[in-house]
Amino acid sequence: MKLICSKNELLKSVNISLKAVPSKTTMPILECILIDASASEIKFTSNDMELGIETKVKGTIEEKGVIALDAKLFSEIIRKLPDNDVVIKTDDNLNTTITCEKAKFTIPGKAGDDFAYLPIIEKNDGIEISQFTLKEVIRQTIFSIAANENNKLMTGELFEIKNNMLKVVSLDGHRIAIRKIELKESYSDKKVVVPGKTLSEISKILSGEVENQVQIFFTDNHIVFEFDDTVVVSRLIEGEYFRIDQMLSSDYETKLTINKKEFLDCIDRATLFVKEGEKKPIIINIQDTSMELDINSQVGSMKEDIDIEKEGKDIMIGFNPKFLIDALKVIDDEQISIYLVNPKAPCFIKDENESYIYLILPVNFSTAR
């Protein structure tokens, strides 16, 4: 095999491929990137058996062939080469020479026969959305997935399609994030749970351009994302997702309208007194047209008032400040509405159309004052 590619094109494709290279595996072949130039295109493939990526590389094939190269070593070599054309050549013993200007590296390769190619997915059942929209939806929900795997379903996000609406849901037991996206067409109903890791890696690859589209295909076991010159295939998380609608209530005793930036900045200042890992609640006391935020810790304390518009009853309620910050950071609206029932019921931050809903459970603050 002999290929000629620019360093920048190689580096772009290597960086995409690395997203599906496992850090630990009992199958050494999976620590490789498969370079497939056996047909008319150069393709890089990586696969950790949960997530697989295939991306096309711009370049010239002078001699056809297939080789698997250690992903980490190959990426470091490409990264440190001069900005010029790179020649990749393999011999009959699978030794691979990488040459650029006066730099020449030789590394051992492996036969591609044992490599786990991506599963072949029939692409009949799919939707299309812009890269910008998908990247935003992931950003606006991914923070609410569970970090540990005690409940596998909580480590993923629900993608639910009904008619022309895509609903994306994440939860971790303390909060729920929901985004609804209107699609250009109506599609058949679909409900799948996509691993958070998959979505996190995809968001890093997406260009995020409004005019660039992503096609998403579904099977019983896999989801496929196709965009630019890249295909990402991921296993789905099995199981019935939580019945979110039962947790959502339109009842409220208190409704606040507040400037989002002012609220976010205030909570951010309050967290100066919260050490890493410490669970100190921020106490919110709502009276008339004023909201007082109060935090107490061993380091110090802070009180601050914010002007609000209020409908309904006065209320005092406590929250984990991080959960409020995470939700507020991803809302683009200047003014937000917060709905409260009582100090032990969840609060809802949502817009009128419910294109976004953030549910946050309160915390007991009786010992914090």
Q: Is residue 138 scored above 70 in pLDDT? A: yes
Domains of the chain by residue range:
2-114, 126-246, 248-360
Residue pair 301/270 in contact by the 8 Å Cβ criterion: no
Q: In angstroms, rounded to a whole number, what is the distance separating the alpha carbons of residues 43 and 65?
A: 11
Q: How far apart are CA 153 and CA 100, in angstroms?
A: 47
What's the mean pLDDT in 313-318? Answer: 96
**What SS3 class is residue 338?**
strand
Supply the pTM of this predicted model: 0.92
Task: Decide if pLDDT at 210 tops 60.
Answer: yes
Beta bridge partners of 233: 52, 224
Residue 25: its pLDDT value, please?
86
| Superfamily classification of domain 2-114 | DNA Polymerase III, subunit A, domain 2 (3.10.150.10)
What is residue 280's predicted lDDT score, i.e. its pLDDT?
Answer: 85
CA distance 45 to 232: 10
The CB-side HSE value for 366 (13 A sphere, CA atoms) comes to: 3
* pLDDT tens sequence across 23-56: 888 889 999 999 999 999 999 999 999 999 999 9
Lowest mean pLDDT segment, chosen from 45-49, 204-208, 263-267, 298-302: 298-302
pLDDT tier at 367, thresholds 50, 70, 90: very low
Provide the CATH topology of domain 126-246.
DNA Polymerase III; Chain A, domain 2 (3.10.150)
Determine the Cα–Cα distance for residues 199 and 101; give it in Å rounded to an integer. 38
For residue 212, how many other CB atoms are within 10 A of its CB? 13
CA–CA–CA angle 175, 178, 181 (5° rounding): 170
Quick check: 156 pLDDT over 90?
A: yes
- How far apart CA 82 and CA 85 sit, in angstroms, is 9
Average pLDDT, the chain: 94
Please say if the pLDDT value at position 249 is more than 90: no
Return all residues near 26 (Cβ < 8 A) that are at least 6 apart: none
How does pLDDT run across 173-191, given as a tens digit for each residue? 999 999 999 999 999 999 9
- 2-114 and 126-246: identical CATH topology: yes
Cα–Cα distance, 182 to 164 (Å, whole number)? 6
Q: What kind of fold does domain 248-360 have according to CATH? A: DNA Polymerase III; Chain A, domain 2 (3.10.150)
How large is the angle between the packed helices 196-205 and 131-139, nearest 10 degrees?
A: 130
Rounded to whole angstroms, the Cα distance separating 268 from 4 reads 51
Averaged pLDDT, 155-166: 96
Are the C-beta atoms of 43 and 231 separated by less than 8 Å? no
Q: How many residues does the chain have?
A: 369
User: Of 14, 11, 9, 18, whose CA–CA distance to 52 is shortest?
Assistant: 18
Q: Is the pLDDT of residue 263 over 70?
A: yes
Q: Taking residues 261-281, what's their average pLDDT?
A: 88
pLDDT at 70 (0 to 100): 97
- Banded model confidence at residue 299, pLDDT cuts 50, 70, 90: confident
Give pLDDT tens digits for 212-227: 999 999 998 999 999 9
Contact (CB, 8 A) for 233 and 222: yes
Give mean pLDDT, residues 241-250: 89
